[in-house]
Amino acid sequence: MTEGPRSVTILGATGSIGASTLDLIEREPERFRVRALTAARSVDKLADAARRTRAERAVILDPALYAELKDALSGSGVEAAAGEGAIVEAAAMGADWTMAAIVGTAGLKPVMAALEQGETVALANKEALVSAGALMTRTATEHGATLLPVDSEHNAVFQCFPHGSAERVRKVILTASGGPFRSLTREQMAGMTPAQAVKHPNWSMGAKISVDSATLMNKGLELIEAFHLFPVGADRLDVLVHPQSVVHSMVEYVDGSVLAQLGTPDMRTPIAHTLAWPDRMETPCPRLDLAAIGRLDFQAPDFDRFPALGLAMDAMREGGAAPAILNAANEIAVAAFLAGRIGFLDIALIVAKVRDSYIAIRPGSIEDVLAIDAEARVRACAFVESLAR
């Protein structure tokens, strides 16, 4: 680690992951120096965090909120900026460590800009990697950037994985809590409301990923994420339902050894792992008490009740633009579900309809990915309209 405080930037500083990241760095102010914080629309939260951490710059997505942000920061010495381009610029300022915690493919350009600086990027924003995995990992390699997974499963695998000898791995096993509807029938799921879908049994997270956890699309996106992060190939990636979310994931070796990383379900543990890596740091997370938990359960995933998982697996195997299309359609469908416009089961239905409307295409650049993403959104919106109540 470099001498003196490490500079950090948080893209998506006002979200669930952003708040957990701020919590950790604010506990050790002498160790970290904040360069930029960004947010979509929460001016007060952003300005407050920027003042507390004495950030160099705070950036809000919506240009209409620039004056409000500037006002909220007056006298603080924090520079205010607004707009999509300003978020990318903030990422390109460069920091020793950047947290990519924007939700959705909206985070793609900023995360690419951060990778191009050649420093460390802690990645929570799985949709970016799902949509543009090959381009992102290539950019990281070309610029000598270090991509560290924040997603709890991938962080667990990262901790158990034999870097440089992937051929010794028989399986990478991602655990899944099964979400709030794990035991429901399809008929019961059909009537589930947004409020019920975002009530995750173990984790406290943003609305979009919470719905993804209820459909199991989250685990599907995570399979694609793992495909890009760990070079074992699609056939050696598995999902195992584990309702307690204590075993965060596992790596099975050719000799039969299975290594797992365990912990309480608190995102500050994997975030701290990436923040201190290759060292370790203290966190205030509750300690794991296995005697109190008593038992850990595991079961195979049910592809019939959770079709999103199969859709994502198909996209992973197909490659090319399929994951970007899957992700874009899902983002639109989840937003429509959260807005009360479509039912819970319509989410996977729309993703399947959008997929079936395509023939194979292959993106060659980030611009291609963004164009494919935009087109898939238009198609998904049309299906939303046809199903909307």
Q: In terms of CB distance, is 102 or 214 closer to ligand NAD?
A: 102
Stretch that binds ligand NAD, among 16-24, 75-83, 162-170, 249-257 (CB under 6 A): 16-24
Q: In terms of CB distance, is 157 or 205 closer to ligand NAD?
A: 205
Residues in contact with ligand NAD, counted by CB under 6 A, come to a total of: 27
Residue 127 touching ligand NAD (CB under 6 A): yes
Stretch that binds ligand NAD, among 96-104, 112-120, 301-309, 380-388 (CB under 6 A): 96-104
Q: Which of residues 235-274 bind ligand NAD (CB under 6 A)?
A: 267
Q: In terms of CB distance, is 107 or 343 closer to ligand NAD?
A: 107
The binder of 206, among ligand NAD, Mg ion, none, by C-beta within 5 to 8 A per type, is ligand NAD
Which 3-state string (H, E, C) describes the chain?
CCCCCEEEEEECCCCHHHHHHHHHHHHCCCCEEEEEEEECCCHHHHHHHHHHHCCCEEEECCHHHHHHHHHHCCCCCCEEEECHHHHHHHHHCCCCEEEECCCCHHHHHHHHHHHCCCCEEEECCHHHHHHHHHHHHHHHHHCCCEEEECCHHHHHHHHHCCCCCHHHEEEEEEEECCCCCCCCCHHHHHCCCHHHHCCCCCCCCCHHHHHHHHHCHHHHHHHHHHHHHCCCCHHHEEEEECCCCCEEEEEEECCCCEEEEECCCCCHHHHHHHHHCCCCCCCCCCCCCHHHHCCCCCECCCCCCCHHHHHHHHHHHHCCCHHHHHHHHHHHHHHHHHCCCCCCCHHHHHHHHHHHCCCCCCCCCHHHHHHHHHHHHHHHHHHHHHHCC
The binder of 130, among ligand NAD, Mg ion, none, by C-beta within 5 to 8 A per type, is none
Q: In terms of CB distance, is 122 or 311 closer to ligand NAD?
A: 122
Residue 151 touching Mg ion (CB under 5 A): yes
Which residue in 34, 58, 135, 209 binds ligand NAD (CB under 6 A)? 209
Which residue in 7, 9, 14, 269 binds ligand NAD (CB under 6 A)? 14
Q: Which of residues 33-62 bind ligand NAD (CB under 6 A)?
A: 39-40, 42, 61
Which residue in 122, 205, 224, 247 binds ligand NAD (CB under 6 A)? 205
Q: Minimal distance in Å, beta carbon 153 to Mg ion?
A: 5
Q: Minimal distance in Å, beta carbon 285 to Mg ion?
A: 16
Stretch that binds ligand NAD, among 135-143, 169-177, 201-209, 227-235 (CB under 6 A): 201-209
Given the rule CB under 6 A, which residues bind ligand NAD?
A: 12-18, 39-40, 42, 61, 87, 101-103, 106, 124-127, 151, 203, 205-206, 208-209, 267
Given the rule CB under 5 A, which residues bind Mg ion?
A: 151-153
